Chains A and B, each alone.
Chain A
Amino acid sequence: MADRASDRLLRMLGMIAYLDRHEGVPVGEIAEQFGVSPAQVMQDVELLWVTGTPGYLPYDLIDFDASSYEQGVVRLTEGRGMTRPLRLGAREAVSLVAALRALDGALGPALDDERAAVLRSALAKLTAATGDAAAAVDVALAASGSPGATAAIATALRDRRRLHIRYVNASDVATERDVDPIRLVTDDERSYLLGWCRAVDGERLFRVDRVLDATVLDESAEEHDVAPDADTFAPSPSAELVTLRLASRARWVAEVTPVEAVRNHDDGSFEVDVRVVNRDWLQHLLLQVAGSVLSIDPPQVAAEAAGAARSALEAYGELAGR
């Protein structure tokens, strides 16, 4: 892993402060604390050992107890005034505090009291130490879904238990299935449950706002290996290709939909190529952006969406006429 000089500097400064607070720490523990290998810790300690104040005579240098070090235990004996931990930079504080606030807002309902308390105390301590720096950035994660379903998913994840869910798909068809939960992914738009669906014996991504019911079962969840990017929706490259030409105001379509290609035109309009796994999903999108659609290929897709709109209008007509 690339280890830039600045990252290494921060880690070494952190180590002095840490070792000043902990009397004699085994190399392996330091490695875990700072998330690096024991070999890296030893390289860092050996470098620290030869740094100090100008002059660089023995009493100018950072020093460790040599006999403990031979036993694999690092004991700081001279810190050359560097034992106070370094403050957070403004952007560093922003990034962590905004992340914690977002977690608190989004995961609050999914956490039990003990875990919620840890999150709040970490946030309180960090805000006290960094001041109001984080006001620059405000993240709202969208923990969509019913509180009951979200809580059941969180419990099943924590206790590694199987879930029984009633789920309605993009075609508005409800099914029941048993799922071994893997992760609950929450982003700025909505929450997804990545789980192993027992019915199809494969991983599936479920939108939590379409989980109608979730029950934690007595059975333990089995472990399943999934790809690291399994929680990102990626339509199959063999799915049907649809090309939409849209007016500029519908630019959000290219931003929130996994599109294959975007081509900008001089008049501000643009074309997107979309792989469509589910025609119902596409139809929903088309009904939403109809006012911005300049053309659709294949044309049959347009005909289906227009037909759906006409039957809805007829239903409104009957409603008014009754």
Chain B
Amino acid sequence: MATTPAAAERLLNLVIALVNTPGRMTKEQVRTTVAGYGDAPSDDAFERMFERDKDTLRELGVPVLTVTDASHGDDFGYRIDLDTYALPPIDLTAAELGVLTMAAELWQDRSLRADSSRALTKLRAVGQAPGSTDLVAGLTPRVRDGGGAFAPLVDAVQARQAVRFTYRAATSGEVRARVVEPWKLLARRGGWVLVGRDRDRAASRSFRLSRIEGPVRPVGAAGAFEAPTDNELATALASWDSGTRGVATLAVLPERASALRMRHVRDDEAPDESHGPVPGREVVRVPYRAQWELAEEIVGYGDAVLVLAPASLRDVVISLLRTAAALDAKEPARG
């Protein structure tokens, strides 16, 4: 097994020492008294080892505080404050722990999986008996990988720190550096999206994580931008919300488009008197959240589904069809 007992033991001893120290421990005290650090062959090796261990502990959520002692000038040391260290009182039942275990499985993203599995290890300490997963038998939720951009963006959102990254615009294909104040990460239909304020455009924008090329780097200090107001955030998120926007009236060939028909609303819920019967077709009322989305679905059915209303939806569909009708006028691709 690929364990590193020495590192785990040294880290554990450091945590225990820093929790139990009456005031603080200087670096030198750590080196001479905490088991595992005396082995460092040189000053440099000790420095590197101690810095790395401190980073590891902070990464794990262990609050290692840097404290200066007034009576010792600028000489500073370290301690762990137990009140900051500890989880607020929480008790989980076996069933709740089971649900959390399933939730931790949701992520296909590697960094998110690592984070949620750590969280779970911590919560197992306060859970009742082994968690039963039977409760959620056969239900497998999953969220796709956010790629390398995900973890640094979550950190930046939390820290309210601006980021710089290279982005390939969908509309033009243009590849350009962006500086963004990150507000929120959304997993929506088909992928991860960052919503934030584009500094060059001085306006809110959405960015698909899959179109970010290369690394995401922090710009400037943490806490350097104002969090968006509720209004700004709501406006930026509006296009990603679900919810019904309208109801379309469609004329459908018999026996066709059953998946679309399944979502129909009854006439008394959303009456539309503007259309009488259409010979050879059935009139069906289907709700939608975005016109383009329903238009793209309808176009796929060809002549089996025609739009009667609203006219704006019919225009979108007809325009898509006109474009598609010219598809065979193009040259074949040569790979």
Contact = CB atoms under 8 A, between A and B. Distances in A.
Interface stretch (B42-50, B70-78, B86-94, B216-224): B86-94
Given A137-B186, A296-B332, A305-B324, 15 more contacts: A2-B2, A3-B1, A7-B121, A17-B125, A54-B33, A96-B104, A96-B116, A99-B103, A107-B141, A157-B138, A256-B190, A273-B335, A287-B302, A307-B328, A312-B306
Contacts of A290: 320, 323-324, 326-327
Contacts, number: 428
A284 to B, nearest CB: 3
A259 to B, nearest CB: 13
12 contacts: A4-B2, A14-B121, A99-B107, A184-B140, A188-B191, A294-B330, A296-B333, A306-B327, A308-B302, A309-B324, A309-B325, A316-B318
A298 to B, nearest CB: 7
B139 A184 contact: yes
Contact of A10 (B118, B130, B304): B118
B140 A231 contact: yes
B126 A85 contact: yes
B124 A33 contact: yes
A264 to B, nearest CB: 9
B92 A54 contact: no
Interface band, chain A: 35 or more
A32 B17 CA distance: 29
Nearest to B121: A10
A-side binding surface: helix, strand, loop or mixed? helix
B279 A309 contact: no
A177 interface: no
Interface band, chain B: 35 or more
Contact of B327 (A53, A302, A313): A302
A140 B187 contact: yes
B129 interface: yes
Contacts of A14: 121-122, 124-125
Given A52-B13, A184-B140, A81 B82 contact: yes
Contact of A88 (B122, B186, B331): B122
A187 B262 contact: no
Interface of B: 1-5, 7-9, 11-13, 15-17, 19-20, 33-35, 56, 59-62, 82, 84-93, 95-96, 98-100, 102-104, 106-107, 112, 115-116, 118-127, 129-130, 135-144, 151, 154-155, 157-158, 168-174, 184-191, 208, 210-211, 242, 251, 255-259, 262-263, 278-279, 296, 299-304, 306, 308, 314, 318, 320-335
Contact of A299 (B4, B34, B332): B332
Given A118-B95, A295-B331, A32 B130 contact: yes
A84 B86 contact: yes
Given A243-B335, A284-B300, A1 B1 contact: yes
A223 interface: no
A185 B323 contact: no
B60 A129 contact: no
B60 A9 contact: yes
Interface in A92-137: 92-96, 99-100, 102-103, 106-107, 110, 115, 118-119, 121-122, 125-126, 128-129, 133, 135-137
A154 interface: yes
A34 B124 contact: yes
Nearest to B90: A129
